[in-house]
Chains A and B, each alone.
Chain A
Amino acid sequence: MSQSADIIIIGAGIIGAACAHELARRGLRVLVLDAGRRAATAAGMGHLIVLDDNPAELALSQYSLQRWRDWGRDMPADCAYRQNGTLWLAANAEEMAVAEAKYQVLREQGLDCQLLGAAALQAAEPELSQTLHGALKVGGDGILYAPNAARWLLQHAQIELRMARVVEIDHRRVRLDDGAWLSAEVLILANGVYARELCPELPLQAKKGHLLITDRYPGRVNHTLVELGYVTSAHNASGPSVAANIQPRPTGQLLIGASRQFDSEAPEVEPWMLGKMLRRAVDYMPGLAGLNAIRAWTGLRAASPDGLPLLGEHPQRPGLWLAVGHEGLGVTTAPGSADLLVAQLFGETAPLAPDAYLPQRFLGVAAHA
């Protein structure tokens, strides 16, 4: 058995890739192992969005968005990065009040945002239902084709990507499915919803989501459209739920989401759920009904109990670092997650207070501190 690299990362999704990128930039030799399984990064919408359900989520997403805007200048065209902004849609007066409260919070953080009344919303997005009350526009949000962004992040002389499946983690080494052992001073677990297989104590739950993409209709929609009901109603339901989420791709295609289910991990597209999700989207954009759908698929989000990722060293397994539990926001929060993790690894002051994301909050304190 040999020391294969300074650091081994398990998982080449957007999280593993962002960690590898940051470590390689600092001169470390990184080996990234990936099993080529169905990844959230390939399934997701790639909406780069500031969310503010709690201060920690806001801090991490806001910080990360700034990083994406910086990277956006260098990313190749196939990453399809655009800063097209988000419109949070208010269907009634109650949701308009939510939009206003959100506006206050985001403005306090210095974010570029703006409240639109019904008429201004119609002018900005004429395809939307005329019954909507207005919207909150967040100008710094964007979109990305995440699989290519992950590949771009991994393109570095210090990074080796190897297709292999890790079947066991033992102290500072991993066993591959061909029986070989590889070791490194530091292991980073970044394999998304599959992390439970290697670390059963992790409090992660799979949340299935459906997506659908249309044929090309350039110019119909400009901003990414998200309903505020997402915050007020659908979000607190524990059963299957849907929320309207319509994203214009640079190709002119529309990507339509989103559904949430806890009870189903099978990859199948469930027709009833697809119907429910589309009915919701059509409520907001009636003209969608006349467009052609090309393809639908599903993906799994890895959800932690409080919705925030686990970023830091495993308290009982020294040498094993965790970067998991990014739920429905991991593409957005990948750069911030990587910076937080790497700062802890190097014993530096992190760019954000790391406490809210430490694995200790679920796994308890260090065994031999």
Chain B
Amino acid sequence: MKVDILIIGAGPAGMAAALAAAPSGARIALLDDNPAVGGQIWRDGPQAHLPPQVHEQRRRLAAQSTIQLLTASRVIAQAGPKQLLVEDAACARVIEYDKLILCTGARELLLPFPGWTLPGVTGAGGLQALIKGGLPVAGERLVIAGSGPLLLASAATAQANGARVLQIAEQASWAAVAGFAAQLPRWPHKLLQALGLWHPGYRASSHVIAALGDSHLQAVRLSINGQVKEVPCERLACGFGLIANTQLGQALGCRIEHNSIAVDNWQASSQVDIYAAGECTGFGGSEKALVEGAIAGHAAVGDLAAARHLWPQRQRWQGFARALQHSFALGEPVKQLATPDTLICRCEDIALADLREHGGWTPAKLASRCGMGACQGRICGAATQVLFGWQPPAPRPPFSPARIDTLLQLGQPE
């Protein structure tokens, strides 16, 4: 299969990139590992309530005969220059492209603390995704902890589906949260969103200490502004912000800076003909992702004027992103939550004490098998990056588990 533009990730950034590139007549493939387009924020499911804007975007994508949607598809390997090997449930193929746009988004940062692997404990965004996917939470008592606006978004979704949100523990200080809120009038739409999400159980300078229970969660021990408090509950949702999905970019040789794919004004990466947009270039919400995606889409088809026209808009949302990152920067206390026997790698059962001495991701992995389990280091790799500053190396093919049949398509070098 050959296309002019291949877009990886069909969240806001990827959808916007496809729609921006489409008028040029280019043949476009938009690929995502989820069964439907929408990415993290517009994740579909039986209990999802998607805004009208999303249905409009989807309708426009479907109406473009030059855009081919490849959902439930994963990138497995680089098959050659400008070629990616891709697999879905039924088949595998090599896609050849002229230009590649990476819109791989972000995932939630989960930091380990005592009890974080107990059933009943999830990520904050993770809980939101579970609820959209149909998880019943009506009548359940819920505590949310961690950092950033996603805590409030998660609380809103849980409450709308009948959960009782008892407490929201934000690690950032009141000063930081208030400072962020004070900047919100510069982004009116975001202000509405934030006010709509305000919650009486919200506390700043607060964090989780431990999840308590034997076989499942029974209570949460919290530090609320310096005071220790135990809250009985059925669920704990903990998210410490987002971490960019840079792995594919890194594997393709794109420069990584500040844990994000580095891009220039045209959203071009350090690799020729590879662009990147949205959360994978630094987190900042769906508006930043939409405008960056559009710029990348225009630039990739050579419509530089249209791309440039969007620069001011991008600047505005990048300002919001900077305020977000600054206000909710992780403080030391949440990096010290794990005790020596807290598991860091839950797939391979590796505790903090077994890891710390190794001084780097690769030696730790060699000595302890950390990151070699089912999640392939997506969770513990991000945690050790934040806790110890360890840089995970570029992923090796297969980038995600793949049928051997698929790998048989990898041919001779040019």
- Give residues in A with beta carbon < 8 Å to B: 36, 38-39, 42, 147, 163, 212, 214-215, 268-272, 274-276, 278-279, 282, 288-297
Task: Spot the interface stretch: B196-204, B282-290, B405-413.
Answer: B405-413
Chain B residue contacts of A297, Cβ below 8 A? 396
- Give residues in B with beta carbon < 8 Å to A: 77-80, 85, 358-360, 362-363, 366-367, 372, 376, 396-398, 401-405, 407-413
Chain A residue contacts of B411, Cβ below 8 A? 272, 275
Whether B405 contacts A289 by the Cβ 8 Å rule is yes
Give 10 closest A-B pairs by Cβ, nearest first: A275-B410, A289-B405, A36-B363, A269-B396, A271-B410, A42-B366, A272-B413, A271-B77, A292-B401, A294-B401
A118 to chain B, nearest CB (A): 25
Chain A residue contacts of B403, Cβ below 8 A? 289-293
Report the Cα distance A289→B372, complex, angstroms.
Answer: 22
A196 to chain B, nearest CB (A): 21
* Residue of chain A at shortest CB distance from B78: A271
Whether B376 contacts A274 by the Cβ 8 Å rule is no
Chain A residue contacts of B412, Cβ below 8 A? 272, 276
Whether B408 contacts A295 by the Cβ 8 Å rule is no
Q: Which of A36, A147, A269, A288 has the most CB of B within 10 A?
A: A36
Report the Cα distance A337→B398, complex, angstroms.
Answer: 36
Report the Cα distance A39→B366, complex, angstroms.
Answer: 9
* Residue of chain A at shortest CB distance from B374: A294
Report the Cα distance A147→B370, complex, angstroms.
Answer: 14
Whether B362 contacts A38 by the Cβ 8 Å rule is yes
Contacts A293-B403, A294-B376 aside, 15 further interface pairs with beta carbons under 8 A come to A36-B360, A38-B362, A39-B366, A147-B366, A214-B404, A268-B396, A271-B78, A272-B413, A274-B410, A276-B410, A292-B401, A292-B404, A293-B398, A295-B398, A296-B397
Whether A215 contacts B363 by the Cβ 8 Å rule is no
B336 to chain A, nearest CB (A): 25
Chain B residue contacts of A212, Cβ below 8 A? 407
Whether A293 contacts B410 by the Cβ 8 Å rule is no
* Residue of chain B at shortest CB distance from A298: B396
> Could you list 11 examples of A-B contacts with CB < 8 Å?
A36-B366, A274-B407, A275-B408, A276-B410, A276-B412, A278-B404, A278-B407, A278-B410, A289-B404, A290-B403, A292-B404
Report the Cα distance A272→B397, complex, angstroms.
Answer: 11
Chain B residue contacts of A272, Cβ below 8 A? 410-413
* Residue of chain A at shortest CB distance from B393: A267
Return the contact of A271 from the options B372, B397, B404, B405 (Cβ within 8 A): B397
B383 to chain A, nearest CB (A): 20
Chain B residue contacts of A163, Cβ below 8 A? 359
Return the contact of A288 from the options B80, B366, B398, B404 (Cβ within 8 A): B404
Report the Cα distance A119→B405, complex, angstroms.
Answer: 27
Whether A278 contacts B408 by the Cβ 8 Å rule is yes
Whether B77 contacts A147 by the Cβ 8 Å rule is no
Chain B residue contacts of A278, Cβ below 8 A? 404, 407-408, 410
Report the Cα distance A276→B411, complex, angstroms.
Answer: 7
B212 to chain A, nearest CB (A): 31
Chain A residue contacts of B85, Cβ below 8 A? 271
Return the contact of B405 from the options A268, A270, A274, A290 (Cβ within 8 A): A290
A42 to chain B, nearest CB (A): 5
Whether B410 contacts A291 by the Cβ 8 Å rule is no
A215 to chain B, nearest CB (A): 7
Whether B401 contacts A289 by the Cβ 8 Å rule is no
Q: A291-B403, A293-B402 are in contact. Are A282 and B408 (CB under 8 A)?
A: yes
Report the Cα distance A215→B398, complex, angstroms.
Answer: 13
B75 to chain A, nearest CB (A): 12
B140 to chain A, nearest CB (A): 34
Whether A292 contacts B402 by the Cβ 8 Å rule is yes
Chain B residue contacts of A295, Cβ below 8 A? 372, 376, 396, 398
Chain B residue contacts of A270, Cβ below 8 A? 413
Whether A290 contacts B363 by the Cβ 8 Å rule is no
Q: A271-B79, A271-B397, A275-B410 are in contact. Are A282 and B366 (CB under 8 A)?
A: no
Report the Cα distance A39→B403, complex, angstroms.
Answer: 28
B290 to chain A, nearest CB (A): 34
* Residue of chain B at shortest CB distance from A268: B396
B349 to chain A, nearest CB (A): 11
Chain A residue contacts of B362, Cβ below 8 A? 38
Chain B residue contacts of A288, Cβ below 8 A? 404
Whether A293 contacts B396 by the Cβ 8 Å rule is no
Chain A residue contacts of B407, Cβ below 8 A? 212, 274-275, 278, 293
Chain A residue contacts of B372, Cβ below 8 A? 295
Chain A residue contacts of B358, Cβ below 8 A? 36
Report the Cα distance A276→B407, complex, angstroms.
Answer: 9
A272 to chain B, nearest CB (A): 5
Report the Cα distance A289→B411, complex, angstroms.
Answer: 16
A122 to chain B, nearest CB (A): 22
Q: Which of B78, B398, B404 has the most CB of A within 10 A?
A: B404
Report the Cα distance A274→B413, complex, angstroms.
Answer: 11
Whether B404 contacts A290 by the Cβ 8 Å rule is yes
Chain B residue contacts of A289, Cβ below 8 A? 403-405, 408
Q: Which of B80, B85, B358, B408 has the most CB of A within 10 A?
A: B408
Chain B residue contacts of A147, Cβ below 8 A? 366-367
Chain B residue contacts of A42, Cβ below 8 A? 366
Chain A residue contacts of B408, Cβ below 8 A? 275, 278-279, 282, 289
A100 to chain B, nearest CB (A): 32
* Residue of chain B at shortest CB distance from A271: B410
Report the Cα distance A49→B396, complex, angstroms.
Answer: 29
Report the Cα distance A271→B402, complex, angstroms.
Answer: 13
Return the contact of B404 from the options A36, A268, A269, A293 (Cβ within 8 A): A293
Whether B401 contacts A293 by the Cβ 8 Å rule is yes
Chain B residue contacts of A292, Cβ below 8 A? 401-404
* Residue of chain B at shortest CB distance from A78: B369
* Residue of chain A at shortest CB distance from B410: A275
Report the Cα distance A266→B396, complex, angstroms.
Answer: 12
B351 to chain A, nearest CB (A): 15
Report the Cα distance A295→B398, complex, angstroms.
Answer: 6
* Residue of chain B at shortest CB distance from A254: B404
Report the Cα distance A38→B412, complex, angstroms.
Answer: 27
B20 to chain A, nearest CB (A): 31
Report the Cα distance A332→B362, complex, angstroms.
Answer: 25
A32 to chain B, nearest CB (A): 14
Report the Cα distance A214→B398, complex, angstroms.
Answer: 11
* Residue of chain A at shortest CB distance from B365: A42
Report the Cα distance A36→B367, complex, angstroms.
Answer: 9
